[in-house]
Structure 1
């Protein structure tokens, strides 16, 4: 496979991803209430995504319509320095949101590169093991799983998040 082949696959895939991302915009259970509680305490909410900007431009309003709207967000292709696992997107949130001490920031992510991103930026990094690609299931699939299957997937995902340096990966 050549670089041109990869570019062609990406070009064919991107319109599909942009069209379908809104179908997966429902916030994780408890997120909207958690964000509201954090904001009530005066905390700012930033977001870093592995999605490129064209995808985020569809996802952000769809998530906002369901109650999740960060104060600032960065897409993986926004910064010349690159995306994860480098610290750049997390640090751009810090700069834009006017946070004066990175050590006061907590990076929450469901992917190992996102955990590494937070650590590289000097932040506490907390892993969500029952979410995202590491767990590998939709909410509906999760609800239909046996307790044993959930435990197996949770452990597998948590192991990857802990290996990336995450704390409280559960």
Structure 2
């Protein structure tokens, strides 16, 4: 191990990390899907499994005790795989109808990506979206200034998050080794689990995240004390998930990279 070791790649999540401040596109679709079944869910229930493959996300919601109890009361039996399949089909239709409306870059995300590229760092990506969903998002994001060096959708790997396969494919395609020279950046607990399972560094972002669940306008208009409370709650969630670093906003990422490189990528090495 030498001090010359440096971060070679950063693998970003998409919604809630680089685009779609607050990760609202899937949240609205999940809520509408369950509303139509007669088993409405809360915003919190819609967001808790965020970052998973969307089919898995629906399954996770159905396994929540409150939701399952209401489902049984409504339909007289526990939800099964066929119910997940049916809900997913409807969810996908709802999401695809509005997905292109949620592709604006999060403030300072593009500038941060440029700073990393200028430093010779490769930009990878993983997502809970499927390849069909990404066909809508990628052209819009490109038009607005963002294109990673490599991207992979959740249905293009052996399994989505929290499994590490999308990250592994990034490392293969980008030609990056070892894993300790890589950072996974995301806005959900499943992002952190994905990164930890891949053996890379993990950085959680609070502002703009699904976990915080606020619009940019809400953040800007909220009283500073209340915002601090909300951000600290989100920070604790990421701490419990095992994030190596937690940053307030995406533009603080270069500071984390400087600290890691100063320590020779060794501090806190798992």
Deviation of the 1:150 alpha carbon: 1.6
Of residues 128, 142, 150, the one that matches 1:72 is 150
CA distance in 1, matches of 2:131, 2:197: 22
Deviation of the 1:132 alpha carbon: 2.4
Contact 1:130 1:157 in 2 (8 A): no
Of residues 53, 56, 74, the one that matches 2:131 is 53
Match of 1:14 in 2: 92
Higher relative contact order (CA 8 A, sep 6+): 2
Match of 1:130 in 2: 207
Match of 1:106 in 2: 183
CA distance in 1, matches of 2:216, 2:99: 15
3-state SS of the aligned residue for 2:155? coil
CA distance in 2, matches of 1:61, 1:162: 34
- TM-align CA RMSD: 1.3
Deviation of the 1:23 alpha carbon: 1.5
Match of 2:106 in 1: 28
| Unaligned runs of at least 5 residues, structure 1 | none
CA distance in 2, matches of 1:149, 1:53: 38
Of residues 72, 77, 82, the one that matches 1:4 is 82
Deviation of the 1:136 alpha carbon: 0.6
What TM-score do you get using the length of structure 2 for normalisation? 0.60
CA distance in 1, matches of 2:111, 2:167: 23
Of residues 157, 163, 166, the one that matches 1:89 is 166
**Does 1:119 find its partner at 2:192?**
no
Deviation of the 1:26 alpha carbon: 1.1
CA distance in 2, matches of 1:31, 1:21: 19
Larger Rg: 2
CA distance in 1, matches of 2:213, 2:150: 27
**Does 1:153 find its partner at 2:214?**
no
CA distance in 2, matches of 1:64, 1:141: 27
What TM-score do you get using the length of structure 1 for normalisation? 0.93
**Does 1:43 find its partner at 2:117?**
no
Give the aligned length: 169
CA distance in 2, matches of 1:55, 1:141: 27
| Unaligned runs of at least 5 residues, structure 2 | 1-78, 248-270
Match of 2:239 in 1: 162
